[in-house]
Amino acid sequence: MAVTLSTLTERRNLWPWLLLAPLAVYLALFFLVPLAEVAIMSVTEPRPGLANYEKVLTGSLYRKVFLNTFATAALVTVCCLLVGYPLAYLMNATTQRRAMMILLLITMSFWTSFLVRTYAWMVLLGNNGPVIWLLETIGFEDPPGILFTRFSSTLAMVHILAPYMIMNIYSVMQKIDRSLIRSAESMGAYGLSLFRHVYLPLTAPGIANGSVLVFVICLGFYVTPVLLGSPREQMAAGLIGHQIEEFLAFGLGSAMAIVLLVVTLIVLAIYSRRFGLDKLYG
């Protein structure tokens, strides 16, 4: 009896792992193995040693690119938050139907391919595009080029990443108990102080989750900054691609990739250590 019981529970415990197996194999083959190759390449190409890392960590070009990557990711995160928070609030405040409509509009961009979206921005912001035309029409003489600037790449990245922010914040807002807000009101909390003391802290987990997600995705962005951004303000992923495609510097590119990965992991670690807000709210 005891034996069958324990084998039963063991078998039950095995099930989830069995279900995970295909994914685990897939990840191992197509993610971990190549990643290991990249790591090996970074210390063997073109000759064994840590020369690549030395270059990446001390070279001023590389430092500038990494700093720029962080600054851009931070900027995009803040912009996503500024755009996303009010939208999430609106979705939460309005009727279910309208919320679904807004959600549809927001996620619409997910249905189009990444490249198409990026090229759409090129058309919109290009020198013969409607935005420049509009600026000229309302009286700008010789408006500055918008495409291939930090502005255009940031705009496009915010457009792509904002849904992640919105969904994270919206899902937290939806779960806020109405009686919390009502009790705050009954105790005399109005608009701004209600927001600052009650609503904002209650939505903080959504803000934190959304921000980390957007920030981390943004750190590794490739296509958008390469196609829309300024060539003088490259981001890390773009530079890695550049190194490998243009200069065939596999070792150097790999070293940069590893550094970027480690930095991203550090960000995630700090987040889960310091801002494990889920824990606090239980």
Partner 1 sequence: MNPYLQLSGVNKTFGDFTALDRIDLDIEQGEFVTFLGPSGSGKTTTLMIIAGFEDATRGAITIGGHSLAGLAPQERNIGIVFQNYALFPHKTAAENVYFPLQMRGVKKAAGLAKAEEMLDLVGLKGFAHRYPKELSGGQQQRVALARALVFEPDLLLLDEPLGALDKNLREQMQIEIKRIQKRLGVTTIFVTHDQTEAMSMSDRIVVFSDGNIEQAGAPLDIYHRPSTRFVADFIGESNLLDAVVTDAEARVAECPALGSVVFGAEGQPPVVDGQEVALLIRPEHLKLSRDPKEGRMNAKMVIDTIVNYGDNALVIGHRGDTQIRVRVPGADVVILKEGEECHFSWTEDAAFVLDR
State which of residues 16, 22, 48, 188 lies at the interface with partner 1 (CB under 8 A).
Answer: 188
Q: Which residue from 222, 236, 224, 261 is spatially nearest to 71, judged by alpha carbons? A: 236
Q: How far is C-alpha 83 from the chain's CA centre?
A: 15
State which of residues 165, 173, 202, 212 lies at the interface with partner 1 (CB under 8 A).
Answer: 202
CB atoms within 10 A of CB 262: 10
Q: How far is the CB of 181 from partner 1 (least distance, A)?
A: 9
* 144 vs 188, beta carbon nearer partner 1: 188
Interface stretch with partner 1, choices 113-121, 161-169, 189-197, 251-259 (CB under 8 A): 189-197
Q: Is 187 in the site for partner 1 (CB under 8 A)?
A: yes
Interface stretch with partner 1, choices 34-42, 52-60, 152-160, 201-209 (CB under 8 A): 201-209
Residues 146-159 as b/e (b if ≥16 CB within 10 A, e otherwise) read bbbbbbbbbbbbbb
* 63 vs 175, beta carbon nearer partner 1: 175
* 78 vs 204, beta carbon nearer partner 1: 204
Q: How far is the CB of 280 from partner 1 (least distance, A)?
A: 7
CB atoms within 10 A of CB 2: 6
- Alpha-helical segments (H) within 112-199: 114-125, 130-137, 150-175, 178-186, 191-194
Q: Is 229 exposed, middle or buried (0-12, 13-18, 19+ CB in 10 A)?
A: buried
Peptide bond into 46 cis (omega under 30): yes
Q: How far is the CB of 206 from partner 1 (least distance, A)?
A: 13
State which of residues 6, 112, 193, 272 lies at the interface with partner 1 (CB under 8 A).
Answer: 193
CB atoms within 10 A of CB 56: 25
Q: How far is the CB of 218 from partner 1 (least distance, A)?
A: 28
Residue-level length of the chain: 282
Cα gap 99→87, rounded to integer Å: 10
Count interface residues toward partner 1 (CB under 8 A): 21
State which of residues 24, 71, 134, 280 lies at the interface with partner 1 (CB under 8 A).
Answer: 280
Q: How far is the CB of 245 from partner 1 (least distance, A)?
A: 49
Residues 145-184 binding partner 1 (CB under 8 A) are: 177, 179-180, 182-184
The answer to whether 90 and 102 have CB atoms below 8 angstroms apart is yes
Q: How far is C-alpha 34 from the chain's CA centre?
A: 23
* 1 vs 187, beta carbon nearer partner 1: 187
Q: Is 190 in the site for partner 1 (CB under 8 A)?
A: yes
Angstrom CA distances, 62 to 210, 235, 248, stand at: 28, 10, 17
Q: How far is the CB of 164 from partner 1 (least distance, A)?
A: 24
The answer to whether 267 and 218 have CB atoms below 8 angstroms apart is no
Q: How far is the CB of 26 from partner 1 (least distance, A)?
A: 39
Residues that bind partner 1 (CB under 8 A): 177, 179-180, 182-190, 193, 197-198, 201-202, 204, 280-282
